[in-house]
Structure formats: C-alpha cells, structure tokens
Amino acid sequence: MMKFLQTVFEIKSLLLLCLLLCFAQPAFSAGGKDVKTAQKHVDSGILQLNQDEKKWVDGHRSIKIGYDGSLPPYSFINEQGVIDGIAVEIMALLSQRIGAEFIIYPDSNWNSLYRAAAKKKVDVIAAMVNRSDRAKWFNFTKPYLTKSLVIVTRQDNAAIANRGDLAGKRVAVVKGYRYVEQMGTEFPTAVTVKLDSMLESLKLVDQGKVDAAILFLGTANYLQAKHKLTKLKIAAFYERNSADESIAVRKDWPKLAGVLQKGLDSLTDQEVERIFSKWVVRGGVDGSQKNAVLNRNSSADEAVGASAAMPDSSAKSGIEQKPDIFDVPKELINPSRDALEIGKMVIVFLVVLTLFVLWLLLTKKQKKARSQAKTRADTRSTVRNLQADHLDDMHLTIVPMREDDESLLESVPEAEIEQPVPAEPVLTKADLEAIVPAPIALNPHKLAQEKQAEFLSTEQISYQRDEDGNFSFISPSIKTVLGYSEAHFMANYLNYLTPNPINKELDEFIEKSIQGQPNQICEIEIYDADRDTHWLKVTGSAIYNGLGHCIGIQGTMLDITSEKLYGKKAANAPEIEGDAIKTNLSQTFHESLQEAIYRAEKIGNQCSVIFLSLERMRFLDGGVVNPPPEEVLKEAGKRLRATLRDSDKIIDIDADKFALILPETTEKSAKLIGEKIRKILQVPYLVGVQSIVMDTALGFAAYPDHGADPESLIKKAQITAISHPVEVAAAKNKKPAEEHLSDDASLQLQQDLVYALDECKVALRSTSQNNIKVLNRHSQFVLHYQSRHSLADYSINGFEALIRWQHPELGLLMPRDFVDLVKDIGLLDVMTYWIIQQVSFQALDWEKKDVKPGVLAVNLGDLTIKQAVQVTKIADIVRETGAKPEWLTFSIQEQDLVKDMELVTSVVQQLTAAGFQVGIDNLKSEAILDDIRQLPVQVIEIEPALMRYLPGDADNGKLVARLMTALRDMGKTILAKEIESEHQLEFLRNNGCEVIQGHLLSRPMPAKEAKELMENLPDFAWYLKQ
C-alpha cells in the first residue's frame, strides 16, 4: 500500500514538474538565461584571413561606420557628445584586429544613417536587424546582439502583468519602430503616446502620466539606473528577442562582411566579458549569467543589467522570477523508474488528446466557412435577379459590379452562383437596399456631357502633416477637388473617408512616411462635399529639421477617379476615354490660355506658353531607361512645380507632357525660365544605385508677339519645340557623339556636386566638433582666406572666406566653375551655411591660439533676394561652434537693395540684432546711396569692375571718387577689392579709401598659410617702394 502511495506521489510530482517546466521557462528566461544564440566565438584571438581578404583590407584602410545614437547601452551619444556603448567597443576591437581605421559617420539619427548607407556614404552600420527588404542594399554578419521588448510599469501598478493587459491602457512608445504599428493593430483600444526617446517614455511612466512603456530590456535597465527611476519595474516581456542585431555592410563589399564575421568569431571570452561587464548596471548578472553570455546561451540584451530592474532583488532574481514562491521537492529531482514510465504514457495521451481537439476545431471552422460561402452565393444570385428585373422595368444601363462585390464570389464556383436555391425566400427590393447599394443608372452619352469634368479631375492637392500625423497644411485646391475649405477638411477629413477597407492603409502609410521610408504611396476613397465618391492617390516623404530629426511629412493627393472608373474597367466603361479625354484636356488648356490672354490684354501686358515634353530618360553611360521609373516622374513633377510661381499654371497633358501658362511673362523671360527648368530637370535622379538623366523638349510662344488667340500660340509653341541636346548639336553641324559626351560630363559634374553638398548637409546636422573635423578631412570643399589690409599701415583688417571645390578627378575648381550649378540645383543655402559653420570653427581655433584675424567676411550671394536667409539658423550654427557673432560680417549685394529694399532692411536688422556686422557688396550706383544711409551697415565695397582700369578710366574714376566722398560723409568704411597694381592703390589712397583686398598684397590661401601670414606679416610699405 505504501509503495502504491509512493508511486502515485511520484507520478503527481512528475506531472507537477512537467507543468512547472512549461510555465517556469519564460520566468527563468526573463532573468537573463535565454538560450538564443547571439554569436559564436572562438578563443584564439587571432584573425585568420586568406590572401584575397588580406589584399582587400590592404586596399581599404579607412572604413566609414555608422551608429544609431539612441539606444543605450548598445550605441548612444554620451554626455560628452561622443558615440559610446557595447557595439562601439566591439567595433573598436574589430578595427584593431583587421587593421583598418573605422571613421565614425557624424549623423547618428537612424533614418538619416540608413539613407546614407543605402547611398554608400556609409560603408558599415554597426548594428542592424537583418530583414529581407534590406538584403538589396546590405550584406550581414551573423547576429551578435539581441534585444527583447519589455513592458515597464510603476511598482505599485498591479493591473499589468502580461502583454494582454495592455488593452485599454495608456502606453508610451517610441516613434519609428515596427512594434508601434503592431501595438495599434493588436490593441486598438489602447491609447499609444508616441515619443522621441525611450527615456521620455520611462519618465512618463515614473510620473504616472501613462500606464506603461514598451522599450528594449537593456535600454530600460540602463536608463533606470542612470536616471535613478526607482519607482519602476519590468512587468513582463512584450516580445522576446525581437531585434537580433548584425553588422550591416554595403552590398558591393561582400569581402568585408566575411572579414568582420571572422573578427567576431575571433573575440575571446575574456574580451567579451570585459565589454559586457563595463555596461552591466549595478553589478548586472551573477557569475553564472556572465558565463551564459560568454557561451552565447543568452542574449546580450538580457545580460545587460538584468537585476537593475528590481534593485531589491538578489543576483539570482530575474525580471519575472520569484525564487521564494516555491521550493522544488526532492521527489521531483530523482523520480523512480515506474514514475518515469507512467509519466511518459501520460504525456503521449495528452499529445494525442490535443491533436484530436485541434482536428475537431479545424473541421468545425471549415464547415462554418462553407456555410458562409453558400449563403453569400445565394444572396448574390438573388441580387443579380433583382438587378435584372430593375433593368427590364427602367430600361437603364447599370455600371459593372464593384470590385469588392466581385471579391465575394472568388471562392464559389460560377455554376453554383448562377443557380438560385428555391428553398430560400426571395428578397424584396427594400431588403436588397439594406444589403447592397442600389445600382447606379448611367447613360454614357449623358455622362460624357454632364459629368466629364468631375471624373477627369487631375487637380493636385499639396499637404503637410506634423510628426503625429495630423494635417498642418492643405493647399487651396482641396476646394476645387472635394469642395471643402482648407480648415474644415483638416479638422474633419476622417469623417469623409468611405467604409472601403482600403482606407485602413492610410495609417500604415503615415507611419512609414514618418519613419523615413521614402516615396510612400497609398490610395484612399473619400466623399466630396456633395457625397460623391472620389479616389485619391496619396504620396508622401518625411521632412527633417536641421538636426536630421523627422518633424512631419509632406506630399500630394491626386484625384484618380477617372482612372479607377475607366482605366481598370475600360471594357465596360462609357467610351469617352480616347479622343474625348484628349478633347477635354485640350479644352481645359484652351480655356486657361484664353483667360491668360484676356487678362494680359486687359492690363496691357504679355503672357507666354511653354510646351514641355520629357523626351527620354537615360543612364549616364547613354543607355535608355525603359519604362521610365515612376519615382523619377514624380520627382520631376515636384521640381517643375517648385520652379514656377504660384500664378503660373501647369496643365498635365500626359504622364510625360506638360503645358505651362506664364502670366505677365515675355518670350525672353519664358526662355530663361525654360532653360532653368531644363537644368533643374536634368540634374541626375538617384534610383537605387543608378543615376538617371532626363532630357526635355521645350517650345515657346508669347502673346501678342506670336498671335492674339490660343490657336496661334499653341501652333507656334509646337513648331518651336526644341529637341534634346544631342539633336540640337546635330542641327548646328556638330558631332552628336562629342556633344553627347560633353553633356554627360556636365551632368556627371552636377551629380558629383550633389554628393559633395550632401556631405555639407551631414556636417550641418552634426553637433559634435570632433565628428565634424573627421568629416571635413574627407570633404571635397575647402575654404581659402584672402586678407584685407588697412591702407594706413597695411595691417590686416580681416579676411574674406572663399570656397574651392577639390574635385577628385578635375582638381581644384574655382567658384566660377561650380557656383552657378549650385544655384541651378537649389542648394546655395546649404553651401552658404556650411561656409558659415567652417568660418566659425576657424575663428574659434585662431582665438584659442591667440591669433587675431580681425573680422571674417562671408558673402550671402543672392540668398537674400530669394528669401532664403534664416538669421536664426545662422545664429544657431555660430553658437553651436562656440564662436562669437561679432567675429563675422555678412555681405549683401547692392542689386538686392534695388530689387526689394524692404526685404533687405528686414534681414540687415535681424543680423545686426543677433550681433553680426553687415556690409554691402558691389556698389556701383549713386542712386542707392540714400537707401544705404538708412541701413545699419558699416563696410561698403565698391564694384571691382569700376576700378579695373583706374586711374586711366576717367569716367569710372570720377564715379568712384563721388561714391567714396558720399560714403565718407556717412561715416562708412570703404573697401576696394581685386586691387592688383600700385596705380590703383595710389588712386584709392588719394580718394580716401580705407581698406583694400587683392593680389597686390596677398592671394587667397588655406587657413594654415593665413595664420603664418598673420604671425609673420611682411613689410608691405618697404616692398611697394622697391
């Protein structure tokens, strides 16, 4: 009897042990004993490379590496502004081991970093999840870091003990991660609070403003300990091992991926232990856990500070472990043979029972699905019969069955659908109306006459959303397309989305755009003000601030109702899409041009029309791109619209053809605009890793020079259409091949310039001076400084900063060789701000070395008149470098005063209020002197062309003398530039000039030589006497 009872007890103990093993496994894993293999290492510590790998490494001694700066303790920006963390230290070891220098990419924002890596501006990203969609751009090592998502709550919160408890709660999440979308789908009743950082989410939990936060385990432990957030606890896992991090390497460097993998394998246990122990919070894991890390039997994530989540627990305590809940009986450890045999039988029985229950559930589900399909088929048959009756009675033509109706029939055979079931009662028409919308009766001829304009609307709506996805701007064209005012639509647009399931994709579209995924597209179905249905094609891309952080999205919405009605159902649609569509577009263009002519005639002015055809697309090597990529056409449309004024009108004639109507524009001005458009559209488009060039054809006509009616202007524009550059060359009896090569060389130069300016953008986004210095060592742009001298004693009064482009193949290029190209592609502001940043750093460097250069001058070019000068941004750039505003002076062109005195006055006042000095460049007219008198400007530069032939040029000599006399009377400082002869010098001295600049005294020189000039200033007075 006792033996039987002992056997029963052992069986119960064994069953209890099985249950405990099943349910306790997550708890033990939560304590840092996860068995997921992160990275297999060897103990040799020696990197064995084959000959090909050694040769490759010898040829690539500098490798650009990027780190995500927002994930402590893996990689983050520390308090000194330097990237730090586990991944950084591991990569430092690999750098030593393979014998290559890792140059840190200065921008640590993930979205910017990913784009830079895709464009091969970054060679390696230290930690990236290996996903299938990234395989196109990267090769990956095996994972060496894993991260688990956990749920963090306050310690006094007992309502959240597992993932399912998040329903209905306020949960803090971090923007840009995939789990945010997953969270919204899984828990629609939960309120997600989207934040910029994981620290913010923890603070909100600590303050009781949200119920929980979802973030990575290692990051949670590190931030809790660092910021002393002692009220928090880790309640449960949200998703275990959700982000296995590998080293990502640019796709065209597969050998480097293999070398880095060998480097990871060569790390010794002692090296890994040293790195992890440094970042373990409050002692981290106990000895057994460290061994698990070293043996790769737990994730790196859970090894980092696992015990810090619960400061009062022992080293053995895990996140979900409660060691004092139960003690394991001795019988559970050493069960008898009889108990083991019976336990095996019980387990087999439970497995069989489980499979049987699953089979029953599956069978029931299949029967229910067949029943539902049959019911839908019966309903559809009845619907079709009633529709047929309705047609016979009313003699009307109905539109084809909607696509969503057709989808109901996919799983049912046609014969079954067509055959009605007598047993079912026939639905009345009232019943039918409750099931499906009434059929729409359409007459194709009446439709073409009365509704054509509505269906063929291709009006484009521009919009912007903020970082939370809410509308912040919508263009007035929303009124034309949907009939709503801008404010009303932005506040209520969700109410006008139809019940169509496709509209659910809008949230995913917004989320992906905010995450930085480029060229997102979706379609939505929406009601207009008259409750008619429209289809809109929505595009969007992220907007970034100066620090590279996403602050929202911008894009367009295009009405594609006609495409939906006629494009995909062309066989059954009213036949109005061929000549009728062309006629309608022609009529729209004709009416718009007639209106422009009428307005021009009324005010006695001119107007012009441009025909623009995107002739072809080709690679830089000459190969034709066919078919044209959709993203290139979209980008071309954006560039085109950004080039024109608000008053100009664009008519989309075809996907690659446009008509431009330019009010108050002469033919000469239209041709200048056309040339600018041609240059803008011809700047290469980067698609993947390929550069694509677009050739255009342009035709011009102007009222009244070429006619007084639309027909005459249209005919003239068509006749004068200009072919692409190759054909133009042939028409001028040049060799087409030579002209083509020359054209491609220019395009390649533009492409090189875009890449060089991209580096400037990165430098402007960086806040670390060390990173900027590293980047500048690889920058293609350099600054030279030309000294300005007082005429009284030839002492240095200051320097002007002058940019040069050190092209990798063409050598050092002067501003005249590339500045106009910079203007054409619209990046003059980027280049100017970069110059300001570099000049500020240089001024600070000279100040620290006790070198006194005087005031450093930067020319703002034509940014002022283009309203592109952001004084607050300039002030921020200078402040971030550590320089002082009074060390810099900015020059504004005289012609800008002539064009818009009010605008220039505002900019000058803002600059002087910020502490900067301001001067006027290229003064050549006495008419502007009164305006200069009103401005708080000090240094006035005389137009160099006026002094080129002084003193022999008597007329210009008299004008210069009068200008100088007037400026002296105002108390202004007079500057003369490009002085190259002693005769010019004497003339200027005799007429009261105070400061000169030119090759007579010094040439533009690098900063190092400028410093030497200041420290060893020659005796210019003695030199000139000789």
Q: Does residue 891 have a pLDDT over 80?
A: yes
Query: Is the Cα dihedral 958, 960, 961, 967 positive or negative?
Result: positive
Cα radius of gyration (the chain): 37
Q: ∠ at Cα 105 (100, 110), nearest 5°? A: 125
Please report the pLDDT score of residue 802 as a whole number: 94
Amino acid found at 857: A
Angle between helices 736-765 and 815-824 (to 10 degrees): 80
Please report the pLDDT score of residue 386 as a whole number: 42
Partners of 609 in beta bridges: 661, 701
Indicate the SS3 state at residue 791: coil
**Confidence band, pLDDT 50/70/90 cuts, at residue 747:** low
Q: How far is CA 87 from CA 90, 342, 621, in A?
A: 5, 50, 41
**Mean pLDDT value of segment 223-241:** 87
Q: Which is nearest to 862 in space by CA: 911, 913, 898?
A: 898
Q: Does residue 439 have a pLDDT over 60?
A: no
**Mean pLDDT value of segment 438-455:** 37
749, 817 contact by CB (below 8 A):
no
Q: How far apart are the first and last CA of the chain?
A: 128
Phi-psi region of 176 (alpha: psi -120 to 50; beta: other; left: phi over 0): left
Cα–Cα distance, 520 to 504 (Å, whole number) = 15
Cα–Cα distance, 735 to 234 (Å, whole number) = 74
214, 151 contact by CB (below 8 A):
yes
What residue ranges in 955-1012 does DSSP mark as E strands? Answer: 973-976, 995-996
Please report the pLDDT score of residue 785 as a whole number: 95
Q: Assess if CATH 3.40.50.2300 describes domain 597-722.
A: no
828, 868 contact by CB (below 8 A):
yes
The distance from CA 402 to its chain's CA centroid, rounded to whole angstroms, is: 37
Q: How far is CA 574 from CA 448, 557, 582, 654, 837, in A?
A: 8, 26, 15, 21, 62
Indicate the SS3 state at residue 630: helix
Range in 77-91, 325-339, 714-728 with the lowest mean pLDDT = 325-339
Write out the two tokens for 637.
């449309």
Q: Does residue 42 have a pLDDT over 80?
A: no
More confident residue, 247 or 432: 247
Residues 648-660 have pLDDT tens digits of 888 777 767 788 8
Cα–Cα distance, 200 to 205 (Å, whole number) = 9
Question: How long is the chain?
Answer: 1026
Q: How far is CA 178 from CA 129, 174, 241, 508, in A?
A: 12, 10, 14, 10
Q: How far is CA 235 from CA 108, 151, 166, 184, 389, in A?
A: 31, 6, 11, 20, 63
Q: Does residue 530 have a pLDDT over 70?
A: yes
175, 194 contact by CB (below 8 A):
yes
972 secondary structure, DSSP code: P
More confident residue, 716 or 941: 941
Cα–Cα distance, 331 to 11 (Å, whole number) = 10
Cα–Cα distance, 121 to 754 (Å, whole number) = 12
Range in 118-122, 283-287, 547-551, 843-847 with the lowest mean pLDDT = 283-287
Write out the two tokens for 1023.
């030199």
Write out the two tokens for 881.
């470098």
Amino acid found at 525: E
303, 276 contact by CB (below 8 A):
yes
Cα–Cα distance, 615 to 645 (Å, whole number) = 24
Mean pLDDT of the chain: 74
More confident residue, 670 or 370: 670
Q: Does residue 232 have a pLDDT over 90?
A: yes
Give 400: exposed, middle or buried? Use CB within 10 Å, 0-12, 13-18, 19+: exposed
Write out the two tokens for 556.
């367009």
Please report the pLDDT score of residue 903 as a whole number: 87
Strand 191-195 to 124-129 pairing: unpaired
Cα–Cα distance, 284 to 290 (Å, whole number) = 9
Q: Does residue 394 have a pLDDT over 50?
A: no
920, 940 contact by CB (below 8 A):
yes
**Mean pLDDT value of segment 955-976:** 92
Q: Assess if CATH 1.10.3720.10 describes domain 459-559.
A: no
Write out the two tokens for 57.
């490494």
Please report the pLDDT score of residue 672 as a whole number: 84
Amino acid found at 551: I
Phi-psi region of 490 (alpha: psi -120 to 50; beta: other; left: phi over 0): alpha
487, 498 contact by CB (below 8 A):
no
What lies within 8 Å, CB to CB, of 385 at 6+ separation is 420, 426
Please report the pLDDT score of residue 745 as a whole number: 59
Please report the pLDDT score of residue 404 as a whole number: 41
Range in 34-38, 201-205, 460-464, 854-858 with the lowest mean pLDDT = 34-38
Range in 439-453, 694-708, 795-809 with the lowest mean pLDDT = 439-453
Please report the pLDDT score of residue 786 as a whole number: 94
Report the range out of 293-307, 582-596, 807-821, 882-896 with the highest average pLDDT. 882-896
CB atoms within 10 A of CB 481: 23
Sequence-distant contacts of 928-934: CB under 8 A, at least 24 apart: 928/894, 928/897, 928/898, 929/963, 929/966, 929/967, 929/970, 931/897, 931/901, 932/897, 932/967, 932/970, 932/972, 933/970, 934/905
Write out the two tokens for 778.
């690889």
**Confidence band, pLDDT 50/70/90 cuts, at residue 697:** confident
Cα–Cα distance, 48 to 98 (Å, whole number) = 10
The distance from CA 894 to its chain's CA centroid, rounded to whole angstroms, is: 37
**Confidence band, pLDDT 50/70/90 cuts, at residue 869:** confident
Q: Provide the percentage of residues in the chain whose pLDDT is more than 90.
A: 19
| DSSP H stretches of helix in 621-660 | 630-643
Q: ∠ at Cα 167 (164, 169), nearest 5°? A: 125
**Confidence band, pLDDT 50/70/90 cuts, at residue 519:** low
Cα–Cα distance, 585 to 576 (Å, whole number) = 12
Q: ∠ at Cα 537 (534, 541), nearest 5°? A: 145
Cα–Cα distance, 988 to 645 (Å, whole number) = 44
Query: Is the Cα dihedral 251, 253, 255, 259 positive or negative?
Result: negative
* Domain segments of the chain as ranges: 1-31+320-335, 345-437, 459-559, 597-722, 751-1017
Q: Assess if CATH 3.20.20.450 describes domain 751-1017.
A: yes
pTM greater than the 0.75 cutoff: no
Q: Does residue 421 have a pLDDT over 50?
A: no
